[in-house]
Protein backbone atom coordinates (compact mmCIF):
# COMPACT_ATOMS: atom_id res chain seq x y z
CA UNK A 1 0.00 0.00 0.00
CA UNK A 2 1.35 3.42 -0.90
CA UNK A 3 2.19 5.74 1.94
CA UNK A 4 -0.71 7.91 3.02
CA UNK A 5 -0.40 10.71 5.53
CA UNK A 6 -2.78 9.42 8.20
CA UNK A 7 -2.88 11.84 11.11
CA UNK A 8 -3.91 10.91 14.64
CA UNK A 9 -7.38 12.08 13.64
CA UNK A 10 -8.47 10.67 10.30
CA UNK A 11 -9.26 13.56 7.95
CA UNK A 12 -12.42 12.97 5.96
CA UNK A 13 -13.70 14.50 2.78
CA UNK A 14 -17.39 14.23 1.88
CA UNK A 15 -18.41 13.97 -1.78
CA UNK A 16 -22.05 15.00 -2.30
CA UNK A 17 -24.41 16.92 -0.04
CA UNK A 18 -27.65 14.95 0.16
CA UNK A 19 -29.45 13.19 2.99
CA UNK A 20 -27.10 10.23 3.33
CA UNK A 21 -24.09 12.57 3.46
CA UNK A 22 -25.81 14.54 6.22
CA UNK A 23 -26.47 11.40 8.26
CA UNK A 24 -22.89 10.18 7.84
CA UNK A 25 -21.48 13.55 8.89
CA UNK A 26 -23.68 13.58 11.99
CA UNK A 27 -22.15 10.29 13.12
CA UNK A 28 -18.60 11.32 12.19
CA UNK A 29 -18.95 14.36 14.43
CA UNK A 30 -19.44 12.07 17.44
CA UNK A 31 -16.10 10.34 16.82
CA UNK A 32 -13.14 11.98 18.59
CA UNK A 33 -10.64 10.43 16.16
CA UNK A 34 -12.40 11.73 13.04
CA UNK A 35 -12.18 15.18 11.48
CA UNK A 36 -14.20 16.44 8.51
CA UNK A 37 -11.96 18.81 6.57
CA UNK A 38 -13.63 19.25 3.17
CA UNK A 39 -16.78 18.71 1.14
CA UNK A 40 -17.13 18.56 -2.63
CA UNK A 41 -20.13 18.85 -4.91
CA UNK A 42 -20.88 19.57 -8.55
CA UNK A 43 -22.40 22.80 -7.25
CA UNK A 44 -20.22 25.30 -5.42
CA UNK A 45 -23.34 26.78 -3.82
CA UNK A 46 -24.43 23.40 -2.49
CA UNK A 47 -20.94 22.65 -1.17
CA UNK A 48 -20.73 26.02 0.62
CA UNK A 49 -24.16 25.58 2.17
CA UNK A 50 -23.30 22.07 3.39
CA UNK A 51 -19.96 23.23 4.75
CA UNK A 52 -21.58 26.12 6.59
CA UNK A 53 -24.26 23.92 8.12
CA UNK A 54 -21.76 21.33 9.37
CA UNK A 55 -18.76 23.58 10.16
CA UNK A 56 -16.55 22.06 7.48
CA UNK A 57 -13.57 24.33 6.69
CA UNK A 58 -13.26 23.80 2.91
CA UNK A 59 -15.97 23.59 0.23
CA UNK A 60 -15.28 22.68 -3.40
CA UNK A 61 -17.53 23.14 -6.40
CA UNK A 62 -16.18 20.09 -8.21
CA UNK A 63 -15.24 16.52 -7.40
CA UNK A 64 -11.81 17.06 -8.89
CA UNK A 65 -10.96 19.86 -6.45
CA UNK A 66 -11.86 17.63 -3.51
CA UNK A 67 -9.83 14.78 -4.99
CA UNK A 68 -6.81 17.06 -5.30
CA UNK A 69 -6.89 18.13 -1.63
CA UNK A 70 -3.79 16.44 -0.22
CA UNK A 71 -4.93 17.07 3.36
CA UNK A 72 -7.77 14.55 2.94
CA UNK A 73 -7.03 11.00 4.12
CA UNK A 74 -10.23 9.36 2.86
CA UNK A 75 -13.36 10.44 1.00
CA UNK A 76 -16.89 9.23 1.59
CA UNK A 77 -18.84 9.05 -1.70
CA UNK A 78 -22.53 9.75 -1.07
CA UNK A 79 -23.85 10.45 -4.57
CA UNK A 80 -26.75 8.55 -6.15
CA UNK A 81 -25.31 5.18 -7.17
CA UNK A 82 -25.37 6.07 -10.86
CA UNK A 83 -22.45 8.41 -10.11
CA UNK A 84 -20.45 6.10 -7.83
CA UNK A 85 -18.16 4.89 -10.59
CA UNK A 86 -17.24 8.32 -11.94
CA UNK A 87 -16.71 9.88 -8.51
CA UNK A 88 -14.69 6.98 -7.12
CA UNK A 89 -12.49 6.77 -10.21
CA UNK A 90 -11.61 10.47 -9.96
CA UNK A 91 -10.69 10.04 -6.30
CA UNK A 92 -8.58 6.92 -6.82
CA UNK A 93 -6.73 8.47 -9.74
CA UNK A 94 -5.87 11.40 -7.46
CA UNK A 95 -4.51 9.05 -4.80
CA UNK A 96 -7.37 9.22 -2.30
CA UNK A 97 -8.67 6.35 -0.20
CA UNK A 98 -12.42 5.87 -0.67
CA UNK A 99 -15.49 4.67 1.20
CA UNK A 100 -18.18 4.42 -1.50
CA UNK A 101 -21.88 4.00 -0.81
CA UNK A 102 -23.70 0.89 -1.90
CA UNK A 103 -24.47 -0.48 -4.36
CA UNK A 104 -20.84 0.01 -5.29
CA UNK A 105 -21.58 0.72 -8.98
CA UNK A 106 -24.32 -0.18 -11.45
CA UNK A 107 -22.72 -3.41 -12.68
CA UNK A 108 -20.01 -5.98 -12.16
CA UNK A 109 -17.58 -4.73 -14.82
CA UNK A 110 -17.29 -1.22 -13.36
CA UNK A 111 -17.03 -2.62 -9.83
CA UNK A 112 -14.10 -4.84 -10.83
CA UNK A 113 -12.49 -1.95 -12.70
CA UNK A 114 -12.49 0.27 -9.59
CA UNK A 115 -11.22 -2.48 -7.31
CA UNK A 116 -8.43 -3.29 -9.76
CA UNK A 117 -7.51 0.40 -9.93
CA UNK A 118 -7.36 0.67 -6.14
CA UNK A 119 -5.20 -2.44 -5.93
CA UNK A 120 -2.87 -1.16 -8.64
CA UNK A 121 -2.48 2.16 -6.82
CA UNK A 122 -2.18 0.57 -3.36
CA UNK A 123 -5.15 2.56 -2.09
CA UNK A 124 -7.79 1.63 0.44
CA UNK A 125 -11.25 1.11 -1.04
CA UNK A 126 -14.40 -0.12 0.69
CA UNK A 127 -18.08 -0.37 -0.11
CA UNK A 128 -20.19 1.39 2.53
CA UNK A 129 -22.27 -1.67 3.36
CA UNK A 130 -22.76 -0.53 6.94
CA UNK A 131 -24.77 -3.66 7.78
CA UNK A 132 -21.59 -5.75 7.66
CA UNK A 133 -20.04 -3.52 10.36
CA UNK A 134 -23.09 -3.42 12.65
CA UNK A 135 -22.39 -4.94 16.11
CA UNK A 136 -25.69 -6.86 16.20
CA UNK A 137 -25.10 -8.36 12.77
CA UNK A 138 -21.52 -9.26 13.68
CA UNK A 139 -22.79 -10.97 16.84
CA UNK A 140 -25.32 -12.94 14.79
CA UNK A 141 -22.57 -14.11 12.43
CA UNK A 142 -20.46 -15.16 15.40
CA UNK A 143 -23.32 -17.19 16.90
CA UNK A 144 -23.95 -18.96 13.60
CA UNK A 145 -20.26 -19.83 13.25
CA UNK A 146 -20.36 -21.21 16.80
CA UNK A 147 -23.23 -23.51 15.82
CA UNK A 148 -25.97 -21.77 17.82
CA UNK A 149 -28.66 -22.76 15.28
CA UNK A 150 -26.94 -25.77 13.78
CA UNK A 151 -26.58 -25.93 10.01
CA UNK A 152 -28.31 -22.98 8.36
CA UNK A 153 -31.23 -24.14 6.21
CA UNK A 154 -32.83 -20.84 5.18
CA UNK A 155 -32.50 -17.07 5.23
CA UNK A 156 -35.48 -14.75 4.81
CA UNK A 157 -34.94 -10.99 4.45
CA UNK A 158 -37.12 -8.13 3.26
CA UNK A 159 -36.77 -4.42 2.56
CA UNK A 160 -39.69 -2.42 1.27
CA UNK A 161 -40.68 1.23 1.44
CA UNK A 162 -43.86 3.19 0.86
CA UNK A 163 -44.19 5.05 -2.45
CA UNK A 164 -45.29 6.47 -4.66
CA UNK A 165 -42.20 8.18 -6.05
CA UNK A 166 -42.29 10.66 -8.91
CA UNK A 167 -41.02 9.34 -12.29
CA UNK A 168 -37.82 11.42 -12.06
CA UNK A 169 -37.02 10.30 -8.52
CA UNK A 170 -33.78 8.32 -8.10
CA UNK A 171 -35.84 5.34 -6.92
CA UNK A 172 -37.53 5.10 -10.32
CA UNK A 173 -35.42 6.89 -12.91
CA UNK A 174 -33.49 4.51 -15.16
CA UNK A 175 -30.76 7.08 -15.81
CA UNK A 176 -30.10 7.22 -12.06
CA UNK A 177 -29.90 3.45 -11.64
CA UNK A 178 -33.41 3.39 -10.19
CA UNK A 179 -35.45 0.43 -9.03
CA UNK A 180 -36.03 -1.47 -5.83
CA UNK A 181 -33.23 -3.97 -6.39
CA UNK A 182 -30.16 -1.74 -6.33
CA UNK A 183 -31.50 0.71 -3.77
CA UNK A 184 -33.17 -1.71 -1.34
CA UNK A 185 -32.64 -5.29 -2.53
CA UNK A 186 -28.90 -4.93 -2.15
CA UNK A 187 -29.45 -5.33 1.60
CA UNK A 188 -31.28 -8.69 1.55
CA UNK A 189 -28.87 -9.96 -1.13
CA UNK A 190 -25.85 -8.88 0.92
CA UNK A 191 -27.36 -10.38 4.06
CA UNK A 192 -27.93 -13.75 2.41
CA UNK A 193 -24.39 -13.62 1.00
CA UNK A 194 -23.00 -12.84 4.46
CA UNK A 195 -24.72 -15.85 6.00
CA UNK A 196 -24.64 -18.44 3.20
CA UNK A 197 -22.11 -17.19 0.64
CA UNK A 198 -22.56 -17.52 -3.12
CA UNK A 199 -25.56 -19.57 -4.24
CA UNK A 200 -25.47 -22.17 -6.97
CA UNK A 201 -28.93 -21.20 -8.25
CA UNK A 202 -30.60 -17.81 -8.68
CA UNK A 203 -34.23 -17.17 -9.61
CA UNK A 204 -35.93 -13.78 -9.69
CA UNK A 205 -39.15 -12.07 -10.77
CA UNK A 206 -40.19 -8.43 -10.63
CA UNK A 207 -43.00 -6.03 -11.42
CA UNK A 208 -41.48 -3.54 -13.82
CA UNK A 209 -42.65 0.07 -13.79
CA UNK A 210 -43.13 2.43 -16.75
CA UNK A 211 -39.54 3.69 -16.47
CA UNK A 212 -38.19 0.18 -17.04
CA UNK A 213 -37.04 -0.25 -13.44
CA UNK A 214 -38.27 -2.78 -10.89
CA UNK A 215 -40.97 -1.81 -8.40
CA UNK A 216 -41.42 -5.10 -6.54
CA UNK A 217 -38.85 -7.90 -6.68
CA UNK A 218 -38.64 -11.43 -5.34
CA UNK A 219 -35.48 -13.55 -5.31
CA UNK A 220 -34.69 -17.17 -4.44
CA UNK A 221 -31.13 -18.39 -3.91
CA UNK A 222 -30.46 -22.12 -3.83
CA UNK A 223 -27.40 -23.78 -2.33
CA UNK A 224 -25.93 -27.23 -2.85
CA UNK A 225 -26.29 -27.84 0.88
CA UNK A 226 -30.04 -27.67 0.42
CA UNK A 227 -30.28 -24.25 2.05
CA UNK A 228 -32.22 -21.44 0.41
CA UNK A 229 -32.65 -17.70 0.74
CA UNK A 230 -36.00 -15.99 0.07
CA UNK A 231 -35.49 -12.26 -0.44
CA UNK A 232 -37.85 -9.41 -1.31
CA UNK A 233 -37.55 -5.71 -2.02
CA UNK A 234 -40.11 -3.20 -3.21
CA UNK A 235 -41.40 0.34 -3.20
CA UNK A 236 -45.13 -0.27 -3.37
CA UNK A 237 -45.80 -0.50 0.37
CA UNK A 238 -44.34 -0.76 3.84
CA UNK A 239 -43.06 -4.25 4.59
CA UNK A 240 -41.62 -5.99 7.65
CA UNK A 241 -37.97 -4.94 7.17
CA UNK A 242 -37.20 -8.14 9.00
CA UNK A 243 -34.84 -11.08 8.64
CA UNK A 244 -34.80 -14.63 9.98
CA UNK A 245 -32.04 -17.23 9.86
CA UNK A 246 -33.25 -20.79 10.40
CA UNK A 247 -31.13 -23.81 11.12
CA UNK A 248 -31.32 -27.45 12.12
CA UNK A 249 -31.11 -26.56 15.83
CA UNK A 250 -32.83 -23.18 16.09
CA UNK A 251 -33.32 -19.79 14.50
CA UNK A 252 -32.36 -16.14 14.89
CA UNK A 253 -34.89 -13.36 14.31
CA UNK A 254 -33.47 -9.86 13.79
CA UNK A 255 -35.53 -6.87 14.86
CA UNK A 256 -36.39 -4.46 12.03
CA UNK A 257 -34.73 -2.90 10.27
CA UNK A 258 -32.58 -6.02 9.98
CA UNK A 259 -29.63 -4.16 8.44
CA UNK A 260 -29.12 -2.02 11.58
CA UNK A 261 -30.84 -3.89 14.42
CA UNK A 262 -30.52 -3.01 18.09
CA UNK A 263 -31.54 -6.50 19.14
CA UNK A 264 -32.28 -9.99 17.94
CA UNK A 265 -33.88 -13.09 19.40
CA UNK A 266 -32.10 -16.43 19.53
CA UNK A 267 -34.34 -19.51 19.60
CA UNK A 268 -32.24 -22.54 20.55
CA UNK A 269 -33.66 -26.03 20.32
CA UNK A 270 -35.12 -27.02 23.70
CA UNK A 271 -34.39 -23.66 25.36
CA UNK A 272 -36.21 -20.45 26.20
CA UNK A 273 -35.95 -17.68 23.64
CA UNK A 274 -33.02 -15.37 24.38
CA UNK A 275 -33.30 -11.68 23.53
CA UNK A 276 -29.89 -10.17 22.80
CA UNK A 277 -29.66 -6.38 23.08
CA UNK A 278 -26.81 -4.62 21.30
CA UNK A 279 -27.50 -0.88 21.65
CA UNK A 280 -26.55 1.20 18.64
CA UNK A 281 -24.41 4.33 18.90
CA UNK A 282 -25.68 7.26 16.85
CA UNK A 283 -27.37 6.57 13.54
CA UNK A 284 -25.26 3.49 12.87
CA UNK A 285 -22.77 4.89 10.35
CA UNK A 286 -19.95 5.30 12.83
CA UNK A 287 -19.19 1.57 12.76
CA UNK A 288 -18.22 1.57 9.08
CA UNK A 289 -16.33 4.84 9.59
CA UNK A 290 -14.44 3.29 12.51
CA UNK A 291 -13.60 0.26 10.37
CA UNK A 292 -12.22 2.51 7.62
CA UNK A 293 -10.06 4.37 10.13
CA UNK A 294 -8.83 1.13 11.69
CA UNK A 295 -7.84 -0.21 8.28
CA UNK A 296 -6.05 2.99 7.27
CA UNK A 297 -4.01 3.02 10.46
CA UNK A 298 -3.14 -0.64 9.98
CA UNK A 299 -2.05 0.00 6.39
CA UNK A 300 -4.72 -2.29 4.92
CA UNK A 301 -5.95 -1.88 1.34
CA UNK A 302 -9.30 -3.53 2.07
CA UNK A 303 -11.48 -4.31 5.06
CA UNK A 304 -11.89 -7.88 6.33
CA UNK A 305 -15.47 -6.97 7.30
CA UNK A 306 -16.37 -5.68 3.82
CA UNK A 307 -13.80 -7.38 1.59
CA UNK A 308 -13.49 -6.72 -2.12
CA UNK A 309 -14.50 -10.30 -2.87
CA UNK A 310 -17.87 -9.78 -1.15
CA UNK A 311 -18.50 -6.55 -3.07
CA UNK A 312 -17.68 -8.30 -6.36
CA UNK A 313 -19.82 -11.36 -5.62
CA UNK A 314 -22.84 -9.34 -4.51
CA UNK A 315 -22.60 -7.24 -7.67
CA UNK A 316 -22.37 -10.45 -9.71
CA UNK A 317 -25.62 -11.58 -8.11
CA UNK A 318 -27.29 -8.21 -8.73
CA UNK A 319 -26.28 -8.40 -12.40
CA UNK A 320 -27.78 -11.89 -12.70
CA UNK A 321 -31.01 -10.79 -11.02
CA UNK A 322 -31.31 -7.73 -13.26
CA UNK A 323 -30.85 -9.90 -16.33
CA UNK A 324 -33.62 -12.23 -15.18
CA UNK A 325 -36.08 -9.43 -14.39
CA UNK A 326 -35.23 -7.44 -17.50
CA UNK A 327 -33.73 -4.27 -16.01
CA UNK A 328 -30.82 -2.69 -17.89
CA UNK A 329 -28.95 0.58 -17.42
CA UNK A 330 -27.18 0.52 -20.78
Mean per-residue pLDDT for 262-272?
Answer: 95
Residue 3, pLDDT score: 39
- Residue 194 sits in the same domain as residue 256: yes
Side-chain half-sphere CA neighbours of 276 within 13 A: 18
Does the structure show a pLDDT above 50 at 21? Answer: yes
Specify if 294 maps to a domain.
no
- Domain at 66, CATH number: 3.40.50.720
Evaluated on CA atoms 288, 293, 299, 301, the torsion sign reads positive
The end-to-end CA distance of the chain, in Å, is 34
Tens digits of residue pLDDT in 162-184: 988 998 899 999 999 999 999 99
Q: How far apart are CA 87 and CA 103, in angstroms?
A: 14
- Residue 30 sits in the same domain as residue 117: yes
> Kind of pairing, strands 125-128 and 97-101?
parallel
Domain extent, residue 66, equals 10-129
Annotated catalytic residues are: 102
Does the structure show a pLDDT above 80 at 5? Answer: no
Tens digits of residue pLDDT in 203-260: 999 999 999 999 999 999 999 999 999 999 999 998 999 999 999 999 999 999 999 9
Tens digits of residue pLDDT in 317-330: 999 999 999 999 97
For residue 146, the 8-state DSSP code is T
Residue 163, pLDDT score: 84
Does the structure show a pLDDT above 80 at 135? Answer: yes
| Mean pLDDT across the chain | 96
Residue 305, pLDDT score: 98
Residue 65, pLDDT score: 98
Which of 98, 129, 160 terminates a domain? The answer is 129
Contact 237, 216 (CB under 8 A): no
Amino acid sequence: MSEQSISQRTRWGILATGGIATAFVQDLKTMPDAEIVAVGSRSAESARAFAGKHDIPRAYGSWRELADDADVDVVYVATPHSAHYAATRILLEAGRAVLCEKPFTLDLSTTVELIDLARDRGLFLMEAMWMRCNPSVLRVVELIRDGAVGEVTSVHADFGVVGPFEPGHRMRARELGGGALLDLGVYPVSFAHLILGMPEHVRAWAKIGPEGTDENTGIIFGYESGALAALTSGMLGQTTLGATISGTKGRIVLDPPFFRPDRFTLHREGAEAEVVDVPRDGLGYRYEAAEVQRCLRAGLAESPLVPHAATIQVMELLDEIREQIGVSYE
